[in-house]
Chain A
C-alpha cells in the first residue's frame, strides 16, 4: 500500500507542518497553481508505521548476504556514517566561502591524495557523481587530449565484449564509435583481434581489470604498449578495483585514465540506484583536462580550483562538487583502513571468492573458467542444471531468496549461458559463505525431487515471483489518484 492510499483529506501530522497557510505575495497569478498538490495527508504515526514497515521489507546488506557480482555489496561501517554526519559537515552550506570550509576542503584534498596513491595516477578529481559519470568524464578527457593536439582523426573506442554495457554507451555519448574486441575461451582479450582493430582511428580502449569474467587480464602490459604505440589511450573501468586494492595499481599497468566507484570499493551505501561517487584519476598528460571543481592547497590553506585555474578542464559535471556526503564516508573508510587495511581488502575479497569457487566446484557445480584463479568474483554456469533438472539460473536465484540470501548477478556477463556472477566481498564471515554453498546444494536436491516447487519460488517474501516480462512490456511506474484515472 502506498502512502498516498493512506491519505484522508485534512488529516495532518501536526508536528511536521504549521497549520497556517503561507501567503503568496509577489508571485504573479499566472504562476500560482489552481489546485493543491496531491501530497499524502496522513498522521505522524501513520507515516512512521508506513516507512517502518517498508524498511522491514528491505532485502539489504544490513540484513542479508548480498553476493551481487560486479556490485561490491560490502558492509558499510557505521563509523563512516557517524563521522560524515558531524554537524560541522552536515550543516556546511555548499556555497560557504573557502575560509569557512577548511575542514571539509582538507578532507577532500586528502581523499584526492589517497586515491592518487592507491591507483598510481598523477592527479584525481572527485567531481563525477557516479560511476557512469566518471566513465563519461574519462572518455571526454581522452577526446579533449586528442583534440588539443589537433589529432581529430581518431573516431573509435575499443571495448572488449565482456565489458559493462555502460562502456560502449559512454563511447557513443562522447561521439565515438564503439568497436567490440572478442575475448578468448580463457577469458583474456584476444590479442590478434586487438591487433587487427588498432589503427590511426583508435582513440583509446576501455578495460576492466580484473574483467567482468572474474579473471585478471594477464597481458595488460602488452595491451597497454600496443594501444600506446597506435596513439590511443587506456581507460580503466574501476568496477572491480576491490580485487586489487593496495596490491596492484592501474597507473603501473599503463592506464592513462581511471574512474573509481567509491560506493563499491570504498564501501559507501548504495543499491537501488544511488547515491554514488565516481572520481577520476589521470596520468600526467591528461591532467589539464580533469573536471572541476577540485581542491588545491598552498601548503597552508585549502581552496577550490575551477575553470579559472584549470582552463583546459572538460568543465563541471554538476552544480556543486560531487556527492559530498558520499565522498566524506569514503574518506573516513580510507583513513580507517590505511594502506595495510586496503591490502587486506584485496586479500580477503579474493580469498573469499576462491574459497566459494572451490567449494562449489567440489559440490559439482560448473565454473565458467575452471582453469583460472578467481579474482574477487567468479562465474558459475548453471546450464547443466537447466538442461538436466529443468531449473535455470533465475529459478536458483529466486529460491536463494527463500534461504535468506540475495541472488548473485544473473545472466551477466552475456558471454556465459545461465550464469551467476558471485562476489562475496571481504566483509563476510566464513559461515555466510558456507550458508550460500549449502543453499545451492539444497536447491539442486529440491530440484531433483520437485523441480516445479523450485520454479515457483520465492515463497517467503512479501511478493511471490514477479512477472518481469509483463513489467517490461507494460511499464507503469506512476500512481494516479482514483479521480485522475477516470
Chain B
C-alpha cells in the first residue's frame, strides 16, 4: 500500500493538494501515481500566471513507460512552479510529497471541500489495485 499522508487532500486523478491556509495551495502527484508511472524522466511545468480551471491539464509527467497529464485539482492562478524538476524529475519518485509541482492562488476556495480526504483516497487506490 502506498503512502497517503493524513494532512493532504487528493484528486481522483492522483494529485495531492496542501492547503497553505493563506488562500494558496501546493500541488504534486501522489505516491501511488509515481509508483504507477515508474522512473520519471521529464516534467513539463505550467507557466507562472496561467489561469487554471479544476480538471485542466496543467503539467506533464513523463516516465519511460508513459507521458501523463497532471490535472489542476481546483481553480486558480499558477503563482510558482518547482524549477528543481527541470533537471531532477527523479526527486518526485524519491519523495513525492516533498517535491511539489506548482502552487496556485485559489479563485474558488470552497472547491477544497470537494477533494478527497486521505481515507477516501486510500479506498480509491485500493479499489484500483484490486
Contact = CB atoms under 8 A, between A and B. Distances in A.
Interface string B28-66: 000000001001011000000000000000000000111
A411 interface: yes
Contact of A472 (B36, B41, B68, B129): B41
Nearest to B87: A473
A473 B68 contact: no
Interface in A467-482: 468-469, 472-473
Interface residues of B, number: 12
Interface size band for A = 10 to 19
A414 B67 CA distance: 10
A341 interface: no
A411 B65 contact: yes
A414 B41 contact: no
A468 B68 contact: no
A468 B64 contact: yes
A21 to B, nearest CB: 47
Contacts of B67: 165
A139 B124 CA distance: 38
A473 B39 CA distance: 10
A315 interface: no
Contacts of B41: 469, 472-473
Contacts of B64: 468-469, 472
Nearest to B89: A473
A383 B64 CA distance: 18
A414 B39 contact: no
A404 interface: no
Interface string B62-82: 001111100000000000000
A288 interface: no
A411 B66 contact: yes
A178 to B, nearest CB: 10
A57 B41 CA distance: 28
A469 B65 CA distance: 10
Contact of A417 (B36, B42, B68, B89): B36
Contacts of B90: 473
Contacts of A414: 66, 68
Interface string A407-424: 000111010010000000
Interface in B75-130: 89-90, 129
B91 to A, nearest CB: 12
Interface in A423-482: 468-469, 472-473
19 contacts: A165-B67, A383-B129, A387-B129, A410-B65, A411-B65, A411-B66, A412-B66, A414-B66, A414-B68, A417-B36, A468-B64, A469-B39, A469-B41, A469-B64, A472-B41, A472-B42, A472-B64, A473-B89, A473-B90
Given A468-B64, A469-B41, A472-B41, 8 more contacts: A165-B67, A411-B65, A412-B66, A414-B68, A417-B36, A469-B39, A472-B64, A473-B90
